[in-house]
């Protein structure tokens, strides 16, 4: 999930088909569960990096000492007592320490329903880039009220800020393990990666994987199928396949689909229709009013629909790059 689609495909190319199947199903399961955690992903990435550096000696860190060594020496119960004491001491010096280390989605959940002054105090303690990201995910009214409070934070005493930090930190602890927010564009990006990986497999194996995903979540399976072929993929589709698909699209719909389209996509489509079809397309374009965004989206989906059907049938040809 952390890699780009091209790197993911290259990484999986050398694996046996059954391994790819397990990975694809697990990837879909994690995504549809809605339980992705940036903190957990960072932990996995860290463990993987450690595997790559097995020949390098790793020094003992404070975190590993508190979380691993103490448990082995003293047992879980005694180790937890010491850990709690350490947290209490460090929080006294910097009550916002845990808040700064929390990921953005956790912070947004922890600040939900809080007084604008609380939100303002937390934002003021975060790094600028992180504060901006949290702010962008808050509701509009909360965002405006919090910003109005930030200018007057200097009048707040240290004890008030400490109480706010303690309250928000406690909410963060209670939220551990709960469902975290995931922006729709991030989810689509993840599923698009999965779709690209699956589209490179043999049809029989690909259909088997999609059926397995469908058992867990039919909507996700449908989305993955659609993301295998998108409007942006048109330049990579072989001419013959594109020509066959365009025959099923009316010139009026094609004119709407091409409104404001990327030049490469527009050129690819125009080069794969007849002169007569091109004249009809130009006539439709000259007569139509500026379409709505939804009309453009729907028209493009209509263009892509026969391409997706060909992909499902195993007859779609792509240009090898």
Query: For the segment 224-258, what is each residue's pLDDT rounded down to a tens digit?
Result: 888 999 999 999 999 999 999 999 899 999 999 99
Q: Which SS3 state, helix, strand or coil, does residue 237 take? A: strand
Structure tokens at 26: 């697990």
Q: Give 260 or 16, the one with higher predicted confidence.
A: 260
Rg of the chain taking only CA atoms, in angstroms: 26
If asked whether residues 239 and 300 sit together in one domain, one would say yes
- Within-domain flag for 128: yes
pLDDT on residue 253: 94
Residue 213's domain spans which residues? 1-36+184-228
pLDDT band at 272 (very low <50, low <70, confident <90, very high): very high
Q: Give 113 or 303, the one with higher predicted confidence.
A: 303
pLDDT on residue 31: 67
Structure tokens at 316: 């779609």
List Cα–Cα distances, 166 to 45, 125, 147, 212, in angstroms: 30, 13, 22, 45
Structure tokens at 291: 């379409």
pTM of the full predicted structure?
A: 0.47
If asked whether residues 89 and 99 sit together in one domain, one would say no
pLDDT band at 300 (very low <50, low <70, confident <90, very high): very high
- Within-domain flag for 49: no
Tell me which of 196, 228, 260 is where a domain ends.
228
- Euclidean distance between CA atoms 287 and 299, whole angstroms: 17
CB 31 within 8 A of CB 220: yes
Beta-carbon count within 10 A of 93 CB: 7
- Euclidean distance between CA atoms 216 and 59, whole angstroms: 43
Q: Give 185 or 26, the one with higher predicted confidence.
A: 26
If asked whether residues 252 and 215 sit together in one domain, one would say no
**DSSP string covering 11-44, please?**
HHHTS-HHHHHHHHHHHHHHHHHT---HHHHHHH
Q: What is the pLDDT of residues 40-93, one digit of tens each?
A: 777 777 777 777 665 444 444 555 555 666 566 667 777 677 666 666 655 556
If asked whether residues 214 and 242 sit together in one domain, one would say no
- Within-domain flag for 213: yes
- Local structure of residue 233 (DSSP, 8 states): G
- Within-domain flag for 46: no
**DSSP string covering 73-94, please?**
HH-HHHHHHHHHHHHHHHHHH-
- Euclidean distance between CA atoms 197 and 220, whole angstroms: 15
If asked whether residues 266 and 242 sit together in one domain, one would say yes
- Euclidean distance between CA atoms 317 and 320, whole angstroms: 9
Q: What is the overall mean pLDDT for the chain?
A: 80
- Within-domain flag for 41: no
If asked whether residues 121 and 132 sit together in one domain, one would say yes
Q: What is the CATH number of the domain that holds 124?
A: 1.10.220.30
> Phi/psi of residue 280, each to 5°?
-65, -35
- Local structure of residue 1 (DSSP, 8 states): -
CB 175 within 8 A of CB 104: no
Which of these ranges, 26-30, 71-75, 151-155, 223-227, has the smallest mean pLDDT?
Answer: 71-75
Helices 116-125 and 140-150, packing angle to 10 deg: 70
Q: How many domains does the chain have?
A: 4
pLDDT on residue 81: 72
- Euclidean distance between CA atoms 310 and 318, whole angstroms: 11
pLDDT band at 299 (very low <50, low <70, confident <90, very high): very high
If asked whether residues 78 and 159 sit together in one domain, one would say no
């Amino acid at each position: 999930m952390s890699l780009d689609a091209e790197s993911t495909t290259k990484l999986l190319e050398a694996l046996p088909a059954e391994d790819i199947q397990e990975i694809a199903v697990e990837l879909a399961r994690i995504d549809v569960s809605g339980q992705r955690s940036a903190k957990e992903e960072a932990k996995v990435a860290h463990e993987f990096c450690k595997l790559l550096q097995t020949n390098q000696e790793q020094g003992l860190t404070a975190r590993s000492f508190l979380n691993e060594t103490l448990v082995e020496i003293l047992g879980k119960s005694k180790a937890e007592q010491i850990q709690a004491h350490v947290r209490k001491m460090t929080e006294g010096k910097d009550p916002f320490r845990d808040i700064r280390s929390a990921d953005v989605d956790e912070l947004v959940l922890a600040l939900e329903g809080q007084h604008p002054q609380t939100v303002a105090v937390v934002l003021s303690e975060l790094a600028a880039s992180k504060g901006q990201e949290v702010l962008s995910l808050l509701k509009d009214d909360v965002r405006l009220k919090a910003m109005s409070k930030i200018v007057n934070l200097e009048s707040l005493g240290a004890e008030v800020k400490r109480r706010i930090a303690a309250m928000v930190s406690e909410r963060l602890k209670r939220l551990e393990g709960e469902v975290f927010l995931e922006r729709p564009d991030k989810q689509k990006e993840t599923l698009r990666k999965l779709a690209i990986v699956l589209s490179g497999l043999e049809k029989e194996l690909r259909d088997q994987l999609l059926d397995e995903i469908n058992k867990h979540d039919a909507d996700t399976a449908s989305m993955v199928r659609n993301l295998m072929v998108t409007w942006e993929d048109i330049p990579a589709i072989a001419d013959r396949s594109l020509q066959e698909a365009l025959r099923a699209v009316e010139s009026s719909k094609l004119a709407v689909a091409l409104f404001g389209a990327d030049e490469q996509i527009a050129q690819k489509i125009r080069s794969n229709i007849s002169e007569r079809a091109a004249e009809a397309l130009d006539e439709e374009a000259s007569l139509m009013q500026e379409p709505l965004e939804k009309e453009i989206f729907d028209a493009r989906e209509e263009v892509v629909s026969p391409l997706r059907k060909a992909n499902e049938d195993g007859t779609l040809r792509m240009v090898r790059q």
